[in-house]
A = this chain, B = another copy of it.
Amino acid sequence: MRTMDTLKKLGLSLDLALEAHELLRGTTRQEVPGVKEDKENYDFANVTTVTILNEQGAQIMGKPQGTYITIEAPRIRFESKEIMDDLSELLGKKIESLIRIDPQDTILVIGLGNWNATPDALGPNVIDATMATRHLYTYAPEIIGEGLRPVCALAPGVLGITGIETAEIIKGVVDRVKPSLIIAVDALAAANISRISTTIQIADTGINPGSGLGNKRIGINQESMGVPVIAVGVPTVVHASIIVNEALAKLNELWSSNIMTATYAQKITPDLSHELSSTMFQPFEGNLVVTPKEIDDLILNVGKTIAAGISQAVHPGINRENYHRYLQ
């Protein structure tokens, strides 16, 4: 019952390629045509790289062709400070693996989302912790150390605050600044609450309509921006209707496994899930999210980790040892 179809009925899409792939492979772990999956394991994290190889894979996955690297670090919630250095180093290496520009080319880091709404504030938080260097090349070249590149950073806000499509603001700035690459950070919605603040997705496909917590209407990708876009996203919420769907899915599973209740299970359909969600959540029209009470802390920590990872990825001379000194 936890199929792509159910999600579509609920008006939801899966932000994480890993979740979409898992859903498609199902309990039988069947291959999805046009999609490849690789795994690496670390002490503190598992990395899964889902590659959508062709148009067929893109269609089935509902996502553009490209590479989607997912880092799962469930312990970050409980031992956050301890593994932050490990995690940001790994994240840095993974982002770096997707960067194909020269070391002196300019990178524009974009923090998507709304700084006033905690679960959507991840992007702006990362921008706060990102050190811009681009202006120093003009105004203070003498303080630029070896191994840095020009980096600029922008938190463009959200449509409801600016009245301007976020993609329009970014495109305007791109046309002036002419970066060679964009790294866009965004809060995502997951299908599973255990992913909140513990999973990081890095994709070389940019951000595409319908993805991200704020549901961008125009993509922020190579097509719209004219330069490559690497998207870095972390789930901070699960849509409330997913919770209802998940509960019914678990009920379905439970009943299916017993011959006495198997016929009941058949009654629990995507339509039923959709009907219940609609009745329950109507006054908020799908704007209800499930999030941990301590989401402020979680976003603060994961935001710092991502800022550290991005710094190590973009500046050839920055690593886990000298990052703290650099961040003066």
Q: Which residues on A are within 8 Å of B, measured CB to CB?
A: 74, 77-82, 116-120, 127-128, 132-136, 139, 150-155, 157, 159-165, 168-169, 171-177, 193-194, 196, 213, 240, 243-244, 246-248, 250-251, 255, 261, 264, 267, 272, 276-277, 279-281, 283-284, 287-297, 324-325, 327-328
CB nearest to A327 among chain B residues: B81
- Per DSSP, chain A at the interface is helix
Residues from chain B with Cβ under 8 Å of A81 in the complex: 324-325, 327-328
Q: Is the CB of B162 within 8 A of A132?
A: yes
Determine the distance from Cα of A157 to Cα of B77 in the docked complex, in whole angstroms. 23
A117, B296: Cβ atoms closer than 8 Å = yes
CB nearest to A169 among chain B residues: B173
Q: Which residues of B contact A77 (CB under 8 A)?
A: 283
Q: Considering only CB atoms, which chain B residue lies closest to A237 in the complex? A: B293
Q: Of all chain B residues, which has the CB nearest A116?
A: B296
For A213, list chain B residues within 8 Å (CB): 293
Smallest beta-carbon distance A116→chain B, Å? 5
Residues of B within 8 A of A171 (CB): 172, 176
| Pairwise interchain contact B164-A152, C-beta atoms closer than 8 A | yes
A177 vs B120: C-alpha distance when bound (angstroms): 25
Question: How many Å from the CB of A254 to the closest CB on chain B?
Answer: 8
Contact residues in B for A174 (Cβ distance below 8 Å)? 172
A133 x B163 contact (CB < 8 A): yes
Known contacts: A193-B284, A327-B81. The answer to whether A135 contacts B163 by CB under 8 A is yes
- Complex: A277 Cα to B165 Cα, angstroms: 39
Q: Are A272 and B292 in contact (CB under 8 A)?
A: no
Task: Please list 14 pairs of residues, one from A and one from B, whose beta carbons are closer than 8 Å in the complex, sorted by A's number.
Answer: A74-B283, A82-B328, A117-B118, A117-B294, A118-B118, A128-B161, A132-B161, A132-B162, A169-B176, A175-B176, A247-B277, A250-B280, A264-B267, A291-B291
The answer to whether A120 touches B283, judged by C-beta atoms less than 8 angstroms apart, is no
From the candidates B128, B152, B283, B327, name the one contacting A193 in the complex (CB within 8 A): B283
Q: Is the CB of A292 within 8 A of B296?
A: no
A247, B250: Cβ atoms closer than 8 Å: no
Q: Which residue of B lies closest to A250 (CB)?
A: B276
